[in-house]
């Protein structure tokens, strides 16, 4: 099955888009996480359905749309830099539209400081994009905004985001046909002290199982072989429906329903929370053949005092017991996690405890991030800040521990036969293919380089592992 060309660029990668026959010429930039990518795909579907033309470069576009991220400082800086870059391409009479999390959080500041912006749409207001593109006067004055005589941007930012799409919402896919993200819920109800997401994305709101299954079937019929389930908090799927727990739709029920979608081969779970796992979910992951044995569970820390400061709502005992249970009950499970180092109050002893935990747990995949101060969060008001150089050193130390573990895991795979989802010709060499086995999620883990054969992108093939590195493996398609 041939790989489709991506209809925009993600972050700094720019890819030509397909074009529609009529309407304004529109150029998209999408930044940030897979959840943002889905939002961009929905906007692409919306404007194309309205008859607009999607173009592959900002030069000469009638409208430039930037879907921003504001999760940490680096993401905010990238978003602002991208807006300023796109403002340079704005044509006379053209429009610059900014949406996403940065727009949700800093609408007034953006309106005041970047006069080239014409429309600002919040994180859940992008469904009004097509309407925003129609000719209309700017009318909303940002509070405390500039008093210069200029056209002011139209600001449409819901104070409490409530929107969630369904399977009938127009959507134009980004990237490869064979792998897709499916957002099963939006928003978050957790009180983690370091996280601004609940304020940017609103309270949790889950879709219905039959709606998600309908989307999955449509994706499968269009050539998708792998779906990646995403949400701010996947394991609390269905908890927001306001009914007794026994009557709720659960993630386990959803997983089993998706396992019956004939058109799919792989179903992958992202952003699962450690304290919300239950026996029903673990059994569903373990027993459903199409559910890949890969669990993305952000742990953030292991020290009890740190977990309390982070307001994670569980103890180190819960974490340790979950890791043991997952490995005992799910054969060949691959566990991916993330940690935050340098959160306010983190002592050297607490960091040492984290290092010992990572060393003994031998996670298949792990990432470490330095703490980022997010105004409006509880952590931002805590004392005992950790020096930036100390944070960077701790991050490097933790990742060095994990690097050796990751290489050991890969070296243990040499000689074994694996199933690989082929992505296409490798960027490293035209003589190699590039793909992923189930232990490699798209965009965040390493890749599998394939030699000794050629098959179309989207194929599921058997291969034998021949070489290992820290984050990638190599395999041959010749199995004799």
- DSSP per-residue codes, 70-108: -SSHHHHHHHHHHHHHHHTTPPTT-EEEEEEHHHHHHHH
pLDDT in tens, 49-67: 989 999 999 998 999 999 9
pLDDT in tens, 411-460: 999 999 999 999 999 988 988 999 999 999 999 999 999 999 999 999 99
| Alpha carbons 301 and 354: distance in angstroms, whole number | 6
Beta carbons within 8 Å of 416's beta carbon, 6+ residues apart? 464, 465
In this prediction, residues 279-305 reach a mean pLDDT of 97
User: Does this chain's domain 9-156 share its CATH topology with 179-411?
Assistant: no
pLDDT at 36 over 70: yes
Is the CB of residue 45 less than 8 Å from the CB of residue 171? yes
pTM of the complete model: 0.89
- Taking the CB of residue 260, how many other CB atoms lie within 10 A of it? 11
Q: Which of 288, 96, 71 is nearest to 194 (CA)?
A: 71
Place of tokens 């990572």: 358
pLDDT at 256 over 50: yes
pLDDT band at 136 (very low <50, low <70, confident <90, very high): low
Length of the chain, please? 480
pLDDT band at 142 (very low <50, low <70, confident <90, very high): very low
pLDDT at 28 over 50: yes
pLDDT band at 279 (very low <50, low <70, confident <90, very high): very high
Is the CB of residue 436 less than 8 Å from the CB of residue 448? yes
Alpha helices in 196-331 (DSSP H): 197-201, 209-221, 251-258, 279-287, 304-309, 316-329
Task: Give me the residue spans of the domains in the chain.
Answer: 9-156, 179-411, 417-476
The pLDDT, as a whole number, for residue 139 is 41
The pLDDT, as a whole number, for residue 19 is 35
Angstrom CA distances, 478 to 428, 454, 462, stand at 20, 11, 9
Read off the tokens for 94. Answer: 């053209």
pLDDT at 267 over 70: yes
Average pLDDT, the chain: 90
Angle at the Cα of 349 (from 344 to 354), degrees rounded to 5?
80
User: Tell me: domain 9-156, CATH 3.40.630.30, correct?
Assistant: no
Say what angle helices 209-221 and 251-258 make with each other, to 10 degrees.
30
The pLDDT, as a whole number, for residue 3 is 30
pLDDT band at 13 (very low <50, low <70, confident <90, very high): very low
**Three-class DSSP category at 324:** helix
pLDDT at 20 over 90: no
Read off the tokens for 299. Answer: 């742990």
Beta carbons within 8 Å of 321's beta carbon, 6+ residues apart? none
Is the CB of residue 78 less than 8 Å from the CB of residue 31? yes
Read off the tokens for 70. Answer: 């504001």
The pLDDT, as a whole number, for residue 113 is 93
In this prediction, residues 203-211 reach a mean pLDDT of 96
The arrangement of secondary structure in 179-411, i.e. its CATH architecture, is: Alpha-Beta Horseshoe (3.80)
- Taking the CB of residue 183, how many other CB atoms lie within 10 A of it? 22
How many Å from the N-terminal Cα to the C-terminal Cα in the chain? 25
* CATH class belonging to 417-476: mainly beta
pLDDT at 11 over 50: no
In this prediction, residues 96-104 reach a mean pLDDT of 94
């Amino acid at each position: 099955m041939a790989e489709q060309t991506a209809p925009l660029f993600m972050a700094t990668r720019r890819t030509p888009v397909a074009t529609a026959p009529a309407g304004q010429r529109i150029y998209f930039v999408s930044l940030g996480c897979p959840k943002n990518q889905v939002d961009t795909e929905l906007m692409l579907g919306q404007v194309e359905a309205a008859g607009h033309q999607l173009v592959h470069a900002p030069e000469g576009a009638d409208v430039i749309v930037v879907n921003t991220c504001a999760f940490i400082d680096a993401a905010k800086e990238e978003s602002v830099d991208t807006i300023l870059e796109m403002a340079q391409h704005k044509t006379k009479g053209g429009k610059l539209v900014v949406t996403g999390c940065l727009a949700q959080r800093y609408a007034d500041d953006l309106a005041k400081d970047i006069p080239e912006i014409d429309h600002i749409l919040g994180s859940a207001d992008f469904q009004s994009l097509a309407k925003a593109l129609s000719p209309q006067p700017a009318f909303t004055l940002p509070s405390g905004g500039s008093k210069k005589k200029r056209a002011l941007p139209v600001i449409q930012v819901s104070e409490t985001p409530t929107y969630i799409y369904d399977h009938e919402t127009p959507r134009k896919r980004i990237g490869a046909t064979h792998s897709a993200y499916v957002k099963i819920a939006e928003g978050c109800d957790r009180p983690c002290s370091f996280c601004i997401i609940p304020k940017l994305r609103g309270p949790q709101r889950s879709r219905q199982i039959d709606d998600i299954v309908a989307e999955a079937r449509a994706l499968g019929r269009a050539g998708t072989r792998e779906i990646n389930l995403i949400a701010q908090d996947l394991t609390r799927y269905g908890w927001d429906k306001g009914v007794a727990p026994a009557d709720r739709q659960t993630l386990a029920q959803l997983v089993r329903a998706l396992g019956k979608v004939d058109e799919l081969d792989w179903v992958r779970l992202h952003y699962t929370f450690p304290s919300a796992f239950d026996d029903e979910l673990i059994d569903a992951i373990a027993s459903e053949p199409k559910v890949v044995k890969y669990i993305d569970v952000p742990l953030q820390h292991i020290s009890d005092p740190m977990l309390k400061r982070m307001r994670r709502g569980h103890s180190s005992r819960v974490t340790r017991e979950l890791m043991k249970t997952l490995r005992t009950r799910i054969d060949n499970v691959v566990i991916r996690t993330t940690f935050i180092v340098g959160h306010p109050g983190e002592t050297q002893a607490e960091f040492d405890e984290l290092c010992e935990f990572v060393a003994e747990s031998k996670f298949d995949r792990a990432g470490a991030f330095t703490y980022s101060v997010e105004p409006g969060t509880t952590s931002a008001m805590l004392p005992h800040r950790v020096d930036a150089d100390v944070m960077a050193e701790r991050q490097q130390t933790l990742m060095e521990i994990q690097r050796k573990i990751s290489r050991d895991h890969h070296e243990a795979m040499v000689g074994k036969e694996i199933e690989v989802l082929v992505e296409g010709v490798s960027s490293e060499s035209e003589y190699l293919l590039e793909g992923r086995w189930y232990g490699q999620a798209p965009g965040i883990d390493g890749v599998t380089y394939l030699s000794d054969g050629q098959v179309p992108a989207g194929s599921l093939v058997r291969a034998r592992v021949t070489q290992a590195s820290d984050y990638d493996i190599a395999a041959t398609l010749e199995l004799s």
